[in-house]
Amino acid sequence: MAGDSVWVLGASMTRFGRYPDLDAVDLGARVCLEAFTDGEVTIHDMDVMAAGTLFQANTSMGQRIQKQIGQTGIPVFNVTNACATGATAIRTVYLAIKAGEAEMGLAVGVEQMGKMGLLAGGSKVEANLYEPSGRFGAVTSVDGVLGTATMPGVFAQAGMAYAYENDGVGFEQFAKVAYKNHLHSTLNPLAQYQKEFSLEEIMGSPIQSYPNTLLMCCPTGDGAAAAVLVSEERLLSMPKRVQKRAVRIAASVLTSDPYVESGQVQPDVNTLTRNAASQAYESAGIGPQDLDLVELHDCFATAELIHYDNLGLCETGGAGDFIDSGAPFRDGSTPVNVSGGLISKGHPIGATGVANVFEVTTHLRGEAGDRQIEGARVGLAHVIGLGSSCGIHILEKSS
């Protein structure tokens, strides 16, 4: 008898990088068709679709992709949730299946950023006449005067706050995270960059927002990823070879940031991740020690380090020791970001949260090629969108 689990049936992603001759619709359509082929289904099997993009959020992305892959009249949810956009698309389809309104659905995330450069913080605007405006009655632009709102700086501050509260965390520990992810990316043909850098090169590359140097920051880029989700009942009606490659979603969680005192000046990326992790572990009936691999949101090296603690991968306060011990390297006890992570695989924002589900799925199927984590049975995919949202999916190999 079928349970009520939801499964990943098919998945695909483009290599992340630069696609100046294609548009976001092309990238999205390509991965949707590939995900159908991967799951041995067609658009006619889909009951629902969710499409995630951040920078083209008001463009009916899902419907525009349908015009390239098949307009069957199914409901489309166009979703956006900052860097958690892709995970939100997956969770939307998951919920539709859980609710019994759909047997099968398509989640796609896509972004075309080009060389967008530094995100957030705005530009320097000198006022001709000082007139208060906005919620804070600002008379001129405040970025760079009342601290930083840019992403490398905000996440640097998140990391340094952890360093203030915990011993054994400093510039070198943060840099080791980037060393690891660049190293891992050399095995991933889908990564935007596939180049190893020494720790010295990473620490010596231009400082963006100390302690984050250039090689400790994710790039901007283009890319797309898609996943086909299916109910257990429908899956059991499909050919054995399809069932065998399906991966069970043991947990699907989305949280927002609860009130914390400092939240009005510094987005809190910790509490919502901790809340999501505890819900996800409870739902999956496992603990962090059971994870064979983790793809987490390393938009900056400082972010990855604090998420070791937020996801319970290390002892409380022990993220510095965790990276120093080698545990998150691909040959360590808890491989983290074996894809190269956002730092080197890339971070086309809307695609990221689907791409890390693709990555974990590929390992659990044993199809990850040179970067395969041997014998992987359980993996976790995590994303954070500032504002804030956290998405976590725990996936399990079919038994």
Q: Show the binding pattern over residues 38-77: x = contacts other proteins (CB under 8 A), - = does not.
A: ----------------------------------------
Q: Show the binding pattern over residues 357-396: x = contacts other proteins (CB under 8 A), - = does not.
A: ----------------------------------------
In whole angstroms, the minimum distance from the beta carbon of 208 to other proteins comes to: 5
**C-beta of 176 vs 363, nearer to other proteins:** 176
| Total length of the chain | 399
In whole angstroms, the minimum distance from the beta carbon of 149 to other proteins comes to: 9
Task: Please state the φ and ψ torsions of residue 390, each to the nearest 5 degrees.
Answer: -130, 130
Q: What's the first-to-final CA gap in the chain, in angstroms?
A: 15
Q: Show the binding pattern over residues 116-155: x = contacts other proteins (CB under 8 A), - = does not.
A: --x--xxxx-xxxxx-x--xxxxxx-xxxxxxx-x-xx--
In whole angstroms, the minimum distance from the beta carbon of 189 to other proteins comes to: 30
In whole angstroms, the minimum distance from the beta carbon of 119 to other proteins comes to: 11
DSSP code at position 81: B
By the 8 A CB rule, do 390 and 382 touch?
yes
Using the structure block, give the residue that is written with the tokens 């971070």. 347
CA 370 – CA 367 distance, rounded (Å): 9
Which residue in 26, 4, 60 sits closest to 223, CA to CA? 26
299 contacts other proteins (rule: CB under 8 A): no
256 contacts other proteins (rule: CB under 8 A): no
Interface residue with other proteins among 78, 88, 157, 362 (CB under 8 A) is 157
- Residue 386: strand, helix, or coil: coil
Which residue in 335, 336, 253, 263 sits closest to 297, CA to CA? 336
By the 8 A CB rule, do 282 and 253 touch?
no
**C-beta of 8 vs 158, nearer to other proteins:** 158
**C-beta of 85 vs 275, nearer to other proteins:** 275
- Please, what is the Cα angle at 250 between 185 and 79, to 5 degrees? 70
The tokens for 179 are 């060393």
Number of shown-chain residues binding other proteins (CB under 8 A): 49
Which residue in 37, 40, 298 sits closest to 155, CA to CA? 298
- Residue 125: strand, helix, or coil: coil
Interface residue with other proteins among 22, 43, 82, 207 (CB under 8 A) is 207
197 contacts other proteins (rule: CB under 8 A): no
In whole angstroms, the minimum distance from the beta carbon of 259 to other proteins comes to: 4
Which residue in 221, 329, 234, 272 sits closest to 87, CA to CA? 272
115 contacts other proteins (rule: CB under 8 A): no
CA 131 – CA 334 distance, rounded (Å): 54
Q: Show the binding pattern over residues 214-253: x = contacts other proteins (CB under 8 A), - = does not.
A: ----------------------------------------
In whole angstroms, the minimum distance from the beta carbon of 195 to other proteins comes to: 21
270 contacts other proteins (rule: CB under 8 A): no
Cβ within 8 Å of residue 92, ≥6 positions away: 50, 77, 79, 107
- Contact set with other proteins (CB under 8 A): 118, 121-124, 126-130, 132, 135-140, 142-148, 150, 152-153, 156-158, 160-161, 163-164, 171, 206-212, 259, 261-266
